[in-house]
Amino acid sequence: MIKKPLILGIESSCDETAASVITQNEQNIPIILSNIISSQIDIHKEFGGVVPELAARSHIEKIDLIVEKAIKDSGIQIENLDAIASTAGPGLIVCLSVGLGFGKALAISLNKPFIAVNHLEGHALSPKLNCKLDYPYLLLLISGGHSQYLSVEGLGKYKRLGTTIDDALGEAFDKTAKILGIEFPGGPQVEILASKGNPRKFELPKPIFNKGGCNLSFAGLKTAVLRISKDLKSTQDKYDLAASFQKTIEEILYKKTQIAFKEFEKVNKIKADKFVVAGGVAANSNIRKMLINLCKENAITPIFPKQELCGDNAAMIAMVGLEKFKKGEFSELSHPAIPRWPLDENAIFLKGAGVKL
């Protein structure tokens, strides 16, 4: 009998300390044996955002306990692990260093291969944890720090088709929440407020809506929300502004995704037959519904990770580790933490915007 690979994934790129053990069945379909996530919401709430030094300190205090629990819940013996995979970037360098260092030390002590993982690649492959997914496919990665359309052509093979030129979508949701007086992390709560409002009450801008291909921009939208918020007269007005913001985001993504379908076809010489949406904002139910309907209109299969796998987690890191393990792609123990690590290494720098395209 062929031994099934057992991979430990470790994630500490921002404010979640996470560890997961995965394997695969006879059909090579991944199986999550454990997936432990410790959030730091209470630590950062009073500051209205993540404080890197406090986040790193919390990682240091918890990581051994989180890894220990992941091993225990998986039902395996730690010495039976086949490889250790840790997030190496992108993210906050003081936070990345904790999980990366712990993973390296564990790999050394167990004499097992070490695999450094790009956090974004974890999101890109996360749907593989609950469905069969063949390359190539079009990916919309929408999270707190990233908003990108990518052509995923294989493990480690990505072509960026479009990205945000300023704020990431998750960041726009979080900042809008703060403007509306919602406690951190408020992004997910904006959708709840929006469900109580009139989405046509306020006309909000759609930056680079009719230009820029499938690139995105949310800074102007956030500024408009701030300006309008100063004149709100009632709680209902707040609901209406949240609803108008949510509706505007949906309209932007609807149009830009249509353009991304065409860009994917142009790059790959084939029509997109599946569309993967991953990252924390992929948990937004209204955005999901809109994109599912758009896919139906274009005879494309929409694919989303399970809700619990949309945000930062270690199962997706272990998933990349599993794929790399099977190909024998291991990392040197000298592999550094990389706070800015694009999936498409050939991306062109966009002058004046501070991002890569």
Mean pLDDT computed over 305-315: 93
> pLDDT digit string (tens) for 217-247?
999 999 999 999 999 999 999 999 999 999 9
> What is the DSSP code string of 65-89?
HHHHHHHHHHT--GGG--EEEEEEE
Is the pTM higher than 0.85? yes
CA-closest candidate to residue 236, choices 283, 271, 194, 177? 194
Residue 151, helix vs strand vs coil: strand
- pLDDT at 357 exceeding the cut of 70: no
CA-closest candidate to residue 130, choices 252, 297, 306, 308? 306
- The values of phi and psi at residue 246, to 5°, are -60, -45
Question: In the chain, at which residue ranges do the beta strands (DSSP E only) sit?
Answer: 7-11, 16-24, 30-39, 83-89, 114-118, 137-142, 147-154, 157-163, 274-278, 301-303, 349-350, 355-356
Tokens of 254: 């609807």
Q: pLDDT value at position 356?
A: 41
> pLDDT digit string (tens) for 279-306?
999 999 999 999 999 999 999 999 999 9
- pLDDT at 343 exceeding the cut of 70: yes
The answer to whether the CB of 276 falls within 8 A of the CB of 301 is no
Which DSSP category does 164 fall into?
B
Q: Which domains does the chain have, with CATH numbers?
A: 7-127+309-343 (3.30.420.40), 134-304 (3.30.420.40)
Mean pLDDT computed over 70-85: 98
